[in-house]
Structure formats: structure tokens, C-alpha cells
Chains A and B, each alone.
Chain A
């Protein structure tokens, strides 16, 4: 973290520029939504813009671009758990509880074989 006034004054310019970029990013997100893209493409575009904006907030406003390794370590662990959490919806698609089993049905169709 910077402490000398010159570095802080320089950072202030960066904060204002990032603020302007975040405003622009929000405008682009809404504009892209007006184009009526296909849903998978619209989701991808919106999430990419949101991720870029989120990275700017975390990197510049939260000073993550120059933090200590303990904080990176804690966040890396969080990311790992977050990925597991987000994978849970995918795992539900592998769940076949309640779906009819095809094999016995095929057997009853041709009992003689």
C-alpha cells in the first residue's frame, strides 16, 4: 500500500479513471442487452463484462493488484471452494434419482427373449 502523498495523488487519478471505466462498462452491458442476442451468447457477454468490471473493483479499489501473499492465499482457498460450490448445479444433472430405469422396461417389452 502506498503511503507517500505523491503516490496517493497518482492513485487518485487511477481511481477516477477506473470509476469512469465502470460507468462505461455498465452502459455497454445494457446496450448489449438491447441487441437481443441469443440467450447463451447474451449470458456470456454479460458475464464477461461483469467479470472485467469486478476485476477492476477488486484490483484497484480493493488494492488486490499489490497485496500480501497471505491475502492471496486466503482468496485462492476461497476460489477453490467457490468453484466446488458452483459445480454443484452441474452435479445435479448427473443425478438420476427419480428417473425411470430403461433396462427393466426393455426386458418387459420382449419377455420371451
Chain B
């Protein structure tokens, strides 16, 4: 940890004493938890995400059990399956992006991260076609209980995909500069991004059979 005490002129012309501190435990592990702060932070965030999606899955069960009949075959299994393959492939490229950094191969890392970003984009394009197909037939969330929970669950999941793409775009763009100065911290950031991305994939692994097949 590097601390520095600097004397800087304040706006009133007087010198102010400022202490500039680097954020601790971004790379090194805390002695009490044995973890870098970011690692524990992202896992606690994912725990809250489990509860968020869990609440909606619980809602799905209540709605389905209480419904006199539940529609089958309303969604395209083919598109759902293609999207599952896409997300699994993106999880593989994401973990490869992190592994490439561990092997100090930055060029490969960028290639894998870009592949993950593109796959995420293809997933959203497929989702757009699915949504627009339903909406063109007047089958919005208001149409039935099934479509209401379908749009809610997949819409929230889609927002998570967009969130992941924003973070990946940052690390492909301005965030990539960190690799030159602080390679270990950058590697950790990619690991945390990967943890989030794998969670998004994991949610879809359950969403696909629940909404498309059952």
C-alpha cells in the first residue's frame, strides 16, 4: 500500500494537507479473509443477485401452480437452444480471456474478451427477434400470465447481459490501459467480470428449460 502526504494549494490560496491513499487489498489478500476485497465484494453482489432472481423464480412457481392451465409451445425452442449455446460459448471465451492474462498473453485476452462481447451481442439480437415476433402478434406481457413472467424474467436477464457488455466494452477500451501499469489488478478485474458473466450464464441455464421446455 502506498501512502503519500502532499501539500497542495487550495482554491483560497492556502496550502491544504491531503493524504492520498491507494485502495487497499486490490491485489494482495487481506489477512483476515484471505481474499482481495474485490473478490469478496463481487461474491456478495452475486449473492444478492441470487435473491433477486430467486424471488422471480418463486413468483413463477406461485403463478404456475395457481394457473388452471399453462401454455406449451408458445416459445421457439430452437431460438432458446441457440441462445443457450451462445451463452455457454461466451462463458468459455470469458474464462479463456482471464486465463490468457494469467499466461501474460494480452493479445489473446483481447481476442477472447471481444469474442465474449460479440457473442453477448448475438444473444441480444436473437432476443430482439423473439420479442418482436411476440409483440407483432400483440402478445406482450399484458397478454397472459405466462408472457408476463416470461418478459419479466428474460427482460431482467437481458438487462444483466447489457450490463456485462458495458463492463466488457470498458475493459476493451479505456480500461485496458491498466494492464501496462497494474497487470495483477487488471487480471483481478477481469476475473470479477468473469464471475458476473458466468452467473448470468448460470441463470440462463435454468431459465431455458423452465420457460421454453416445461
Contact = CB atoms under 8 A, between A and B. Distances in A.
B107 to A, nearest CB: 16
Contact of B44 (A26, A29, A74): A74
B35 A57 contact: no
Contacts of B135: none
A23 to B, nearest CB: 6
Contacts of B55: 85
A88 interface: yes
A30 B213 contact: yes
Contacts of A16: 92
B40 interface: yes
B71 interface: no
Interface residues of B, number: 44
Contacts of B102: 2-3, 5, 8
B81 A71 contact: no
Contacts of A85: 51, 54-55, 58
Interface string B84-121: 11001101101110010011000000000000000000
B43 interface: yes
B47 A74 contact: yes
B111 to A, nearest CB: 14
Nearest to A72: B43
Nearest to A42: B214
Given A8-B102, A43-B214, A70-B40, A88 B96 contact: no
Report whether over half of chain A's contact residues are helix, strand or loop; otherwise say mixed: helix
B156 interface: no
Given A26-B81, A29-B209, A68-B33, A57 B47 contact: no
B88 A62 contact: no
Interface string A56-98: 0110011000001111001101100110011011001100000
A8 to B, nearest CB: 5
Interface of A: 2-3, 5, 8-9, 11-12, 15-16, 18-19, 22-23, 26, 29-30, 33, 39, 42-43, 46-47, 49-50, 53-54, 57-58, 61-62, 68-71, 74-75, 77-78, 81-82, 85-86, 88-89, 92-93
In the A-B complex, the 5 residue pairs with the smallest Cβ-Cβ separation, listed nearest first, are A46-B209, A19-B92, A78-B47, A89-B61, A33-B213
19 contacts: A15-B99, A26-B81, A29-B209, A39-B214, A46-B213, A46-B214, A50-B206, A50-B208, A54-B205, A54-B206, A58-B202, A61-B94, A62-B195, A71-B39, A78-B51, A82-B54, A85-B55, A86-B54, A89-B62
Interface of B: 33-35, 39-40, 43-44, 47, 50-51, 54-55, 57-58, 61-62, 65, 77, 81, 84-85, 88-89, 91-92, 94-96, 99, 102-103, 194-195, 198-199, 201-202, 205-206, 208-210, 213-214
Given A23-B88, A57-B91, 9 more contacts: A5-B103, A9-B103, A23-B85, A42-B214, A57-B198, A70-B35, A85-B54, A85-B58, A93-B65
